Amino acid sequence: MLSRRNTSLAGGVVIVGMTTSNERPIRTPRRVPHTRSYGLLLRLADRTAGRTDRRTLSTAAPGSGTALMSRLQATFDENDRSLVVRLREVCEPSARRLRELLDEADRLSAVIDRQRSALAATTPPTAADLAHRNGGELHLDAEAVSTRRLREHRARVDATNAALESAQRQRNAVLVESVRHTARLVEQFELACTVSEQLRHHYNRRLATYARAARLAPGATPSITVPEWTTRPCPWLPHNAQVSK
C-alpha cells in the first residue's frame, strides 16, 4: 500500500514522498507523557505556605516575591533545562544526518545542472562531422563513416541522459529522507514544547493555590515565566529546510 505526503524544502523544491507499507518510517511517540501530579500533600503544603506568608505579603512592596515563589520558578527552570538537554540528545543524530543529506542534495543539484547544460549544448553533427574519418576508417565508404559518427553522437547523448536521470533519482531519494528527518525533528520539538507547557501549568497551579491562601489580589498572582526556547522555531533545523503544514 502506498502513502503520499507533500513536503517542501526551501528553494521552491516540492517533494512528494512515496513510502510503502513495508518501510519503517522514523516516528516519534505522539503521546505526551504525564509530567506532574498535584496531590493532596502538595496542595496542603502550598496552602500552609500561603497562610504563613500572608502577613509578610500584606506589608511587602508591590511585585515583591517570597521564598516559595522563587523556589517554584527555580524548580521549573531546572526541570525545563533538563528537558532541553534530553531534547538535544534525541535531536542531534537526526539534525546531523539532515545536514549531511542537504549537503548531498546540493552536490547532486550541481551535477544535474551540469548534465542539463551539457545536453543543451549538444548539437546534431554537421556534414563535416559526419564525413570525418578516424584512423583505420580510410577503407570505409562515406555512408559507413556517417553511420559511425551518428552512433557515437547518440552514445554521448544517451550517456549524458543516463547520468542526468541517475543524479535526479539520487537527489529525490536524498530529499525524501531529508523530509523524514525534518518531520521527526519538528515533531520532537513540538512534543517537548508541550511537555514544557504542562510543567509550567503544574507550577502555575501551585502558585495559584499559594496566592489564594496568601489572599493576594487577582492581578497580583504570580506566574511561571514562559521559556524563550518554546517561542522560537526548532533550532535543529538547517536554515534551508522546513516542513509544510
In a domain, 121, yes or no: yes
CA–CA distance, 145 with 132 (Å, rounded to integer)? 7
Whole-number pLDDT of residue 116 = 93
In a domain, 52, yes or no: no
* Alpha-carbon distances, residue 232 vs 88, 184, 186 (angstroms): 15, 17, 12
The rounded mean pLDDT for the chain is 81
pTM above 0.75, yes or no: no
In a domain, 58, yes or no: no
pLDDT at 210 over 80: yes
Phi, then psi, of 60 in degrees rounded to 5: -80, 160
Total number of domains constituting the chain: 1
pLDDT at 190 over 90: yes
Whole-number pLDDT of residue 11 = 37
The helix/strand count (H/E) of the chain reads as 4, 2
All residues at 6 or more sequence positions from 193 whose CB lies less than 8 Å from its CB, including other chains: 230
Task: Give CA torsion, residues 70, 72, 76, 79, to 10 deg.
Answer: 110
pLDDT at 20 over 60: no
Closest CA to 45 of 22, 72, 65: 72
Higher pLDDT, 121 or 65: 121
In a domain, 8, yes or no: no
In a domain, 149, yes or no: yes
Whole-number pLDDT of residue 215 = 87
In a domain, 131, yes or no: yes
Residues 42-67 have a mean pLDDT of: 78
Grid cell at residue 81: 533545562
Whole-number pLDDT of residue 187 = 95
**CB of 73 within 8 A of CB of 192?**
no
Out of 7-16, 87-96, 118-127, 187-196, least confident range: 7-16
In a domain, 191, yes or no: yes
Give me the percent of the chain exceeding a pLDDT of 70: 78
Q: What interhelical angle do 67-121 and 142-214 show, nearest 10?
A: 170
Range of the domain at 146: 67-239
In a domain, 134, yes or no: yes
Grid-cell match 497580583, residue found: 220
